[in-house]
Amino acid sequence: MTGIKDVAERAGLSVATVSRALSGKGNVSPTSREKARSAAAELGFVVSYHASSLASGRTHNVGLVVPSVHRWFYSAVIEGASAALLEAGYDLTLYNIGENPAHRHSVFTDFLLRKRVDAVIAVSLELSEAELQQLHAMHRPIVGIGGPLPGASTIRIDDTGIARKATNHLLGLGHTKIAHITGHDAYDQDFQLPGTRRGGFEKAMNDAGCPVRPEWIVSADFTIEGAYAAARQLLASSPERPTAVFAASDEMAIGTILAARDFGLRIPDDLSVMGIDGHDLGNVLGLTTIDQDAKGQGALAVRTLLGAITNGLVLEPADTEHPTTLVVRTSTAVPRAGTT
């Protein structure tokens, strides 16, 4: 394996100068810089970040902690973060918490503490006090996405606002009999998120003078499967059916669409459905949604962290609201005459 020493030799420079030339830090004459660069290129030399990090304290590596890798939002964030990091020459270490509590525990007690990362992105994690402490004990910049993270910088969307925006879209079309599929109030991963979105829904309904019927608010986990089951129940049990369903996520909206089709309900004629996310499948299904640009959130998190890293690893806790856009497709329409 070729090391910096070989490069120095070949370039006729000292190791120190080569290091400075290649890293861009410190003063190096253009001549030497060029010599170092070309020698490195000829030898196919790539610095060992291990050694580099030992000496400098910078690992050029960012940890990304996600609750799962399957749900759309997480994989979109991973994708956005991954591309941004690659661009910057950073590695991405993935910590997939998963369902196993032992895994979760070891991520916080062992993995993150190995001084292997310069910064951490935590996605939609509801952390215990102890976990939070361990996170902060790393003394590394942290960015939270999709949920509160006390003491860290966070990127979020205006959950209440978009829920209202979504509901208003349906109200604006003339719907009054609107059901809502919300998330479980599980306090393990999904925070108050279900609650805030539900709050926005209820607020919009109230403002419009529409009654919120408790039996039309059903909850599911944030998956297609879960919402499918919940929606079936909703559509089956109601003596009277809603004319529109606002689901708290696109995956839940998709589950709803699938369930609706089982009942022979045409969309949007018999039932309008909308979600929140900007899921890739939205296009195929013609799903009206509010795009929250998860990829962009991932990329923004990376930019924020990279800024903090060059800024001496300090990151002022701040709260950034990411913009969202209403995407109207064909799953929502004016309710059929007579159903209102």
Partner DNA sequence: CTCGCGTCTGGAAGCGCTTGCAGCGGCGTT
Partner DNA sequence: AACGCCGCTGCAAGCGCTTCCAGACGCGAG
Footprint on this chain of DNA (rule: CB under 7 A): 1, 3-5, 12-17, 19-20, 22-23, 25-32, 45, 47-48, 51-52, 54-58
**Shortest Å, Cβ 6 to DNA:** 8
User: Which of 113, 258 has the CB closer to DNA?
Assistant: 113
Burial class (CB in 10 A: 0-12, 13-18, 19+), 37: middle
- Which residues are paired to 217 by β-bridges? 180
User: Which of 19, 304 has the CB closer to DNA?
Assistant: 19
- For 271, phi then psi, to 5°, come to -150, 125
* Distance separating alpha carbons of residues 50 and 73, to the nearest angstrom: 32
Query: What count of other Cβ atoms lies within 10 Å of the Cβ of residue 156?
Result: 19
**Shortest Å, Cβ 52 to DNA:** 4
**Shortest Å, Cβ 169 to its own copies:** 24
- Which one of its own copies, DNA, none is in contact with 182 (Cβ closer than 5 to 8 A by kind)? none
Q: Are 179 and 244 in contact (CB under 8 A)?
A: yes
Chain Cα centroid distance, residue 257: 24
User: Which of 106, 233 has the CB closer to DNA?
Assistant: 106
**Shortest Å, Cβ 137 to its own copies:** 8
User: Which of 43, 217 has the CB closer to its own copies?
Assistant: 43
**Shortest Å, Cβ 106 to DNA:** 18
Burial class (CB in 10 A: 0-12, 13-18, 19+), 255: buried
- Which one of DNA, its own copies, none is in contact with 303 (Cβ closer than 5 to 8 A by kind)? none
- Which one of DNA, its own copies, none is in contact with 284 (Cβ closer than 5 to 8 A by kind)? its own copies
* Distance separating alpha carbons of residues 334 and 338, to the nearest angstrom: 11
* Distance separating alpha carbons of residues 323 and 164, to the nearest angstrom: 15
For the chain, the C-alpha Rg in angstroms (whole number) is 25
- Which one of its own copies, DNA, none is in contact with 15 (Cβ closer than 5 to 8 A by kind)? DNA
Q: Which spans in the chain are helix H?
A: 4-11, 15-23, 30-43, 49-56, 72-88, 101-109, 129-137, 159-173, 193-207, 224-237, 250-262, 282-285, 294-310
**Shortest Å, Cβ 8 to DNA:** 8
**Shortest Å, Cβ 85 to DNA:** 18
User: Which of 114, 336 has the CB closer to DNA?
Assistant: 114
Give the largest Cα separation in the chain, rounded: 87
User: Which of 91, 202 has the CB closer to DNA?
Assistant: 91
User: Which of 93, 192 has the CB closer to its own copies?
Assistant: 93
Q: Are 149 and 310 in contact (CB under 8 A)?
A: no
Contact residues toward its own copies (CB under 8 A) are 1, 44, 46-51, 53-54, 59, 61, 64, 68-70, 75-76, 78-79, 82-83, 86-87, 89, 91-96, 98, 100, 103, 106-107, 109-111, 113-116, 223-225, 228, 255, 258, 261, 280-281, 283-285
